[in-house]
Each structure stands twice: as C-alpha cells, then as structure tokens.
Amino acid sequence: MSKLLSRPTTPDDQGCIQRISPASAGWDYVGFEVYQLQPGQVLEQATGDQEVCLVLVSGLADVATEQESWTGLGERMSVFEQKAPYSVYVPPSDRFRVTATTVLELAVCKAPARGEFGARLITPADTRYEMRGEGTNQRHVCNILFGNMAAEHLLVCEVFTPGGNWSSYPPHKHDRDAAPAETRLEETYYHRINPPQGFAFQRVYTDDRSLDETMAVEDRNVVMVPEGYHPVGAAHGYDLYYLNVMAGPERTWIFHNDPDHEWMIKKD
C-alpha cells in the first residue's frame, strides 16, 4: 500500500472525503481537504495559525469570513468545462463559513502563516491561464494563488491534461533549499478524471531511487509529493484535471528538471 496515495472516503458528517495534514503526510507545511456539500449544507472552520485558500472546484456557494462576505460565487459545475474557478483567501486568526447553494465540491488548501494579508476574493479574472508544452506534452494551467496573488506560503494552481498527454513533464522536482537553483516545496495533487471510471499514472522518485513509486491514480485520489520528481500521464480517452497545492519555507517555485530527460525541452 502506497504511503503517497490517498483514496477518497465516504463523506463524513461535514462532507469531508479527503483530509491531508502535515502530521498525516509526515511533512511541515501543506494541509489539504476536500468536501462534498449538498445544497444548504454549511462548512465552518477557524483558520488558527493557517492561511487558507478555498477553491470552489465545482458548484456554487456563499462564503463569509469574520470581516468579509460574498454571495453567489461560482460558475462552473464541472472542472472539465475548463473555466477558471472562484476562490477565497482567508488569513490566520480568522474564520470562514461556506454555504453550498448547489451541490458543491470544495477544496480547502492550508499552510502556516503569520497574518500578513487580509481576506479577499479571487475571481476567474484574477487568475492567469496559460498553455504549456507541445504535442503530447501539452496541458493547460490556471494559476489561482501563484504569481498573480500574494500569500505567505501557499501556492495553488490547477492543470487540465488531455487524455493521452503527459504533465509535470519532463520530470521535475523542488525539494532542496538551494535558491536560485531550486526551492523546497511540499506538494499535493488532487486528481479528477473524465469519464470518472478512468485512470492516470503518477511516478514519484528521487535521484538515488530511495523513493520510487508509480501509482495508478483514480478519480478523487490525492498524491502527496514530499520530495523527488513527479510526472503524470493521462490514459488515452480520459482527460485529467488536478489541483496542486504547494508550500515550503520560501514562497518561490524554482524547480529542477531530471537531467536524464531535460534533453527534450532543449532540442531544436
């Protein structure tokens, strides 16, 4: 049984189907939860010493913090509409309340913070969409809480990979405090697959192969990446979405490509 792969559970009384904490993952920064809420269901949490990014993966909701409130958030009813999501940043020492107005899939992304930034709405217009790669390495990236938005430690983005294509590829890693060459960032991948009976593959490996796991990933699985390279391949016929959460001692994404495979982006 892989220690890096988390499968969804039946929703608990709060609607939680995935819960990754630093304690359960064996690391220091990233916390990640997914909730499936029914219309009218409410999720309320204190942020404590964490900054939080609430991502409306699909569905509509009202969101409030202690100082701010927003109603009628959301637009897409499926991640495979390839529309940017609505999200809300909530600082530490605050509280959020999410009220689902339709069936709602909600991601709660967490990292330790001091409270440098206030609560704010992140609309689709605030995000940055880009296409990366070419051929069967092509994928579409949406930066939710990345260079487009300030935070203390959290980095959040989502990626759409067409069936038969590769992503997080060539294999790269970010597990050393060695700026400007590389930064150390823990990472989670929350996978959705269309149609949902499909699968993808993700490998996580280090240079010395002391960690080397290849996982068959199914719908709503989470893969944890504490270190090492972590490429993803979507099976033919099954489009892949994943939500990435990263955090580490420095909020800078500097990655290092596997030298064995870097040739493919250097060729003419």
pLDDT in tens, 16-36: 999 999 999 999 999 999 999
Give φ, ψ of 38 to 5 degrees: -90, 160
48-86 residue pLDDT tens = 999 999 999 999 999 999 999 999 999 999 999 989 999
Q: What average pLDDT does this structure show over 100-123? A: 98
On whether the CB atoms of residues 243 and 107 are closer than 8 A, the answer is yes
Write down the domain spans for the chain. 5-264
pLDDT value of residue 267: 60
Categorize the per-residue pLDDT at 9 as very low, low, confident or very high, splitting at 50, 70 and 90. Answer: very high
Percent of the chain having pLDDT more than 70?
99
Burial of 74: CB neighbours in 10 Å, binned 0-12, 13-18, 19+: buried
Categorize the per-residue pLDDT at 181 as very low, low, confident or very high, splitting at 50, 70 and 90. Answer: very high
pLDDT value of residue 2: 85
pLDDT value of residue 268: 46
Mean pLDDT in the chain?
96
CATH of 5-264, one of 2.60.120.10, 3.20.20.150, 2.40.40.20, 3.20.20.70: 2.60.120.10
Distances (CA, A) of 74 to 100, 234, 257: 10, 27, 36
Amino acid identity for residue 254 in this structure: I
Q: Is the pLDDT of residue 183 over 80?
A: yes
Element (H, E) at 266: helix 263-266
120-155 residue pLDDT tens = 999 999 998 888 888 999 999 999 999 889 999 999
- 3-class DSSP assignment, residue 87: strand
Q: Write the CB contacts of 14 (distance below 8 Å, at least 6 apart in sequence).
A: 35, 43
Q: What average pLDDT does this structure show over 107-115? A: 98
pTM assigned to the model: 0.97
Q: What average pLDDT does this structure show over 234-246? A: 98
